[in-house]
Chain A
Amino acid sequence: MVNVKKIVSNWTYIFPAMTVLTLILIVPLLFTLWMSFHRMPIGHPPTFTGLSNFVRIFRSPIFYVSLKNTFVYAFPAVAIKAIIGLGVALLLNQKFGGRGILRGLSILPWAIPPFIACVLFWFVYDYRGVGNFILSTLGLKPIHWLGYHYAMPSIILVNIWRGWPFFYLGFLAGLQAIPAELHESAEIDGASSSQRLLFITLPLLKPVFLIVCGLSLMWTMGDFVIPKMMTGGGPVDATLTIPMATYKIAFLMGLNYPLASAYSVSILPIFAILIYFTVKQLE
């Protein structure tokens, strides 16, 4: 009797959260999976079409372009964010005057909502903006930042600018968890500071590194805000990532929900691997 009561009370506390998450995550996820195997002409009941949506996208060059763009967008962005984050974390782990202020300011880009970060970079990338001002100061020719050739690196830069503090925060927490005695004893044994960095600090940061990179890789691959606000996936298809392609097919061009579902479902295996790997690290 007591046991039953306990079980019931356990579940009442967790039940609302589970219901909410099931209704707004699992149900839509299953629905999108279901749609990707169907055809839904307007005014007719949906019909099962097997793999035909997938056959269609696997034959379409746009799919491969958007898949390539998703990787070209995410991998360099994550790598550079990790490098900047690590550098700043190492810098602000040193003791010096003004460190506190710098630590506070370093989370500013992360504190700015992504869509505002995009507005900041609208000004940077305008032909009269600060981007071309910096180029001309360095003696270089002004460029079309959001033109076909530069659009992808430009939006990657926006992602880096807004996202690196996440790595910095993770790495700083990791650095602070390394006991000082380790460094002291290594110093007594005659290890130089670069040796200590290479053989003590970096190996001990590895768990944090894996988690932060895993999370960031997923969020960057799934990023919709920056491509949408900066270029809308254009010019032509220069910044068309999978999330942008899903959006365009579903809401702008064809209103083809099943095909759009197939786009997002086709990238799910990659996310599933990343999610599995990251959740395992987090546990």
Chain B
Amino acid sequence: MQKGYVRKPLLAIFSILLLLWIFIPVYWIIKTSFAPEVEVWSMGIPKNPTLQNFKDIFVVPRGAMAEVAGTYLSISPTIVTPLINTLFVAGIAVGLTMLVSTIAAYNLSRFSYKGKNLISCYILFAYVFPPFILMVPMTIILSNVGMFDKLTGLAVVHLAYTVPFATFMLRGYFLGIPRELEEVAMVDGCSRLQALLKIVLPLAAPGLAAVAIFSFVLSWGDVIFSTVLLNTTENYTLPIHIGFFLWGGEIVDPGRLAATAILAGMMPAVLYLGIQKFVRMGLVAGAVKG
């Protein structure tokens, strides 16, 4: 009885602290995105909330960025091009990742052969490898094969993030599907590939969707390779586009910056929250025992 008196207020206090910790930065950007220009820096909820900022980022702006820099800058002024570019890159990266990782994960979950451990180690190594080391050599290699400043080139480089992660998560998922189902199908005359395509993949559909979403988010959030591999305005992705809202450490046009950030951050965040169950599973498969 006495225990409950201490426990409940403590739980409440820690819960509130947790919520404040998570939400203070998030609240600020949400309220700014709905604020009219005069209210962008006031603390409270905007008195005259408006959707103007969200409309503004899609049409050519008044040139606020050009004013600050002194001259007109040939940067992409609306969100449209970077948004399409980012979607395009993430789309290709996800497509290729799924193609490559599904069969690799199937191999790791079903076959046993000499050298399999070595391959697992190799993929794990790729998973933990810090990508900044690839920054310099990747730039030179892509220049030499004519892929520098190409969105497809960027998408291929993103496989360095996505393939190891997707392979490990899918392997965990495939291990959870009983192999008897395929064995029966193979006795009935299915080939290995048919068994994979017709039996395992439909059963693994939720897992495949989750892995596709993770890969999408990884590609969407990439800053390293977009920064060094893209060079022309038409090819800029969202992280680079957003960088132009900061000039000399000063935020230019906070309302539109907040709206851009919400649009750019919401898609991955919503997708992520939608597959929460798999976030845990992926972590368990990836970080605890696979």
Contacts and interface: CB of A to CB of B under 8 A. Distances in A.
Interface string B253-290: 01001100100110011001100100110011001101
A247 to B, nearest CB: 6
A16 B11 contact: no
A13 B111 contact: yes
A30 B32 CA distance: 47
Contacts of A121: 25
A62 interface: no
Interface stretch (B60-68, B199-207, B222-230): B222-230
Contact of B132 (A111, A222, A251, A278): A222
Interface in A154-195: 161, 166, 169-170, 172-174, 177
B5 interface: no
Contact of A28 (B25, B134, B261, B290): B134
B140 A31 contact: yes
B183 to A, nearest CB: 15
Contacts of A177: 288
B141 A16 contact: no
B104 A16 contact: yes
A219 interface: yes
Contacts of B146: none
A281 to B, nearest CB: 9
A127 to B, nearest CB: 9
B217 interface: yes
Contact of A109 (B22, B108, B131, B136): B22
Contacts of A250: 135-136, 139, 228
A283 B279 contact: no
Interface residues of B, number: 90
Nearest to A242: B132
Contact of B141 (A7, A31, A120, A242): A31
B164 A279 contact: no
A97 B196 CA distance: 43
Contacts of B96: 20
A224 B137 contact: no
A238 interface: no
B251 A113 contact: no
Most buried by B among A87, A107, A117: A107
A239 to B, nearest CB: 13
A88 B242 CA distance: 32
Interface in B214-241: 217, 220-221, 223-224, 227-228, 238-239
Interface in A1-30: 6-7, 9-10, 13-14, 16-18, 20-21, 24-25, 27-29
A21 B164 contact: yes
A197 interface: no
Contacts of B239: 115, 229
B120 interface: yes
A18 B122 contact: yes
A91 B136 contact: no
Interface in B144-196: 156-157, 159-160, 163-164, 167, 192
A128 B41 contact: yes
A105 interface: yes
Nearest to A147: B249
A113 B264 contact: yes
B163 to A, nearest CB: 6
Contacts of B124: 279, 282-283
A14 to B, nearest CB: 5
Given A25-B160, A251-B228, A224 B128 contact: no
A146 interface: yes
A102 interface: yes
Contacts of B50: none
10 contacts: A6-B113, A113-B221, A116-B242, A119-B29, A119-B265, A123-B25, A130-B28, A212-B287, A215-B128, A283-B124
Interface of A: 6-7, 9-10, 13-14, 16-18, 20-21, 24-25, 27-29, 31-32, 35, 87-88, 91, 94, 96, 98, 102, 104-117, 119-124, 126, 128-130, 133-134, 146, 161, 166, 169-170, 172-174, 177, 207-208, 211-212, 214-215, 218-219, 221-222, 224-225, 228-229, 242-243, 246-247, 250-251, 257, 260-261, 264, 268, 271, 274-275, 278-279, 282-283
